[in-house]
Structure 1
């Protein structure tokens, strides 16, 4: 992977990751279009990703595998369960919490990932990386102190906590399985996206109805015509997130992914304040 290709993948990841949060907040938020069906939305994301991945390989945009791709069913199920838990808890956290608290919870993935990599892989971090992690944690603490007091619910905090654990493990599994099974990012994405989309599509309506006391088919796009455009935009951005994440995590570690992704946090906080009239204190701004 060339340096320029790596940069393009990072730029795609930053743009799509930040944009999809804004789009989903407007789509699912109570002050937006109130499409509060996060699991069904995730199912659409992965089914679109799978379809576009297959089309890309068919027309030659995405490279085909040079050999028969083998992804053991046990590993596929492990990844699917963890990844589904990650994306569902992330979207539920975004729906229930403010953008600020949602993004701060994502920052907590950094120390959790470090702990897991030290225990799992026996990895040790250089003083420079340790300093970056400590600085990130300090900023995270400054931002989150007042936010936790102002706008939080028990279920929202629970979803935020679940997203920290599952997201960290999911990101490590992406790089781990690509190396162990010697498969490309596109091949792994094609294998996992259909499994994630199918399982979410089967269980999504039930899970979402438990949250909302209504079924997804009861939502009327006729009364909210713009919601459909936001839904399509969300699926398109999810494609960018999934593709770029698999390529980046296949090359870099999960810790590097999270530390460089701190830029996404700054962008999300600023854009969240701008678009959704959030209140940012001086302490939070310094963080």
Structure 2
């Protein structure tokens, strides 16, 4: 999602985040045959209409940013569904599941992150010039 924010306007970034709600509902309906109440369906329709209205007024989108936003919405929605299924299947809480999956996620991020960053931004992280503000932010983390 952050790459979408880097490549698009803030408005389109917010629209992308809001679009995750109907995407999760449709994915759960397709993958898990989950049925929703009339009230939930109407709420999702309101969100979709709102996203549509906002999209018309926010035209600062480029192809690379749009593709990045679509990929982020789809992958994040799929992750939310998968995590929910795992929690239910193994009867575990969020923190326990996170403690088991965080090392794998961190490893994949360390391996794939720099290459994806290069594809999207055209520079490697090693080319970043450290400023005093960046150092202070890193040390306070």
Q: TM-score, normalised by structure 1?
A: 0.46
* Alpha-carbon distance, 1:107 to partner: 1.3
Partner residue in 2 for 1:185: 94
Q: Over aligned residues, Cα RMSD in angstroms?
A: 1.9
Name the structure, 1 or 2, with higher relative contact order (CA <8 Å, separation 6+): 1
Partner residue in 2 for 1:281: none
* Alpha-carbon distance, 1:226 to partner: 1.9
Partner residue in 2 for 1:205: 114
Partner residue in 2 for 1:117: 28
Partner residue in 2 for 1:108: 19
Taking structure 1 as reference, are residues 212 and 135 closer, same or farther at Cα in structure 2, changes over 3 Å only? closer
Q: Is the Cα–Cα contact under 8 Å of residues 106 and 163 in structure 1 kept in the other structure?
A: no
Q: Is the Cα–Cα contact under 8 Å of residues 3 and 120 in structure 2 kept in the other structure?
A: no
Q: Is the Cα–Cα contact under 8 Å of residues 5 and 13 in structure 2 kept in the other structure?
A: yes
Taking structure 1 as reference, are residues 121 and 203 closer, same or farther at Cα in structure 2, changes over 3 Å only? closer
Residues in 2 aligned to 1:101 and 1:125: alpha-carbon distance in whole angstroms: 28
* Alpha-carbon distance, 1:97 to partner: 1.0
Residues in 2 aligned to 1:129 and 1:232: alpha-carbon distance in whole angstroms: 45
1:220 match: secondary structure = coil
Give the count of matched residue pairs: 141
Q: 1:146 aligns with which of 38, 57, 62?
A: 57
